[in-house]
Amino acid sequence: MGAGVTPKASGGGSRRRRRVRGGSAAMSEINITPFVDVMLVLLIIFMVAAPLMTVGVPVELPKTQASALPTDDEEPLTVTITAEGQVMIQNSETDQAELVTKLQAIAAERSSDRIYLRADGANNWNRVAEIMGLLNAGGFSNIGLVTDIATSGSNG
């Protein structure tokens, strides 16, 4: 009735497990799955965030049938004229008297003379032409006017 120990068959000693000093064997391969997972998550984050990094001044752009301009390697420099007539370089408001000075400083640091002008449709043409003249005086001769794409039924 007692519990007993069953004797091993002969040759059982050859099946012994080998133990490495320290308790477990070192891993000899690199597990890159977590690295790939992190990289894919970062890629998705940057793909979603990149379009949001454009100029965020809300203006109602005129609608035209014009095609898009080719892009440069540099970040596009944008000047915006809001419906209230405020002039903004990128996202910072700029006084019209200081516009040429600031643009000359920016032009000295950039390799491209391209600048984009976004003007709210509520502005009159005189105001837009005046700012275009200041952009030219600031050292930017390649001025692109930013518009929205018109739908097929609208006249602008």
pLDDT tens string, the chain, 156 residues long: the values are: 556 655 555 555 555 555 555 567 776 777 888 889 999 999 999 888 877 666 566 667 777 777 666 665 667 788 888 888 889 888 888 888 888 888 888 888 888 888 888 888 888 888 888 888 988 888 888 888 887 776 765 554
pLDDT of residue 64: 73
Distance CA 89, CA 110 (A): 15
Amino acid identity of residue 138, one-letter, is G
Model confidence pTM above 0.85: no
All structural domains of the chain: 57-149 (3.30.420.270)
Half-sphere exposure of 114 (CA within 13 A, CB side): 12
pLDDT of residue 124: 84
pLDDT of residue 156: 46
Select from 110, 117, 116 the least CA-distant residue to 73. 110
Count of CB atoms situated within 10 Å of the CB of 93: 11
Select from 123, 80, 72, 122 the least CA-distant residue to 99. 80
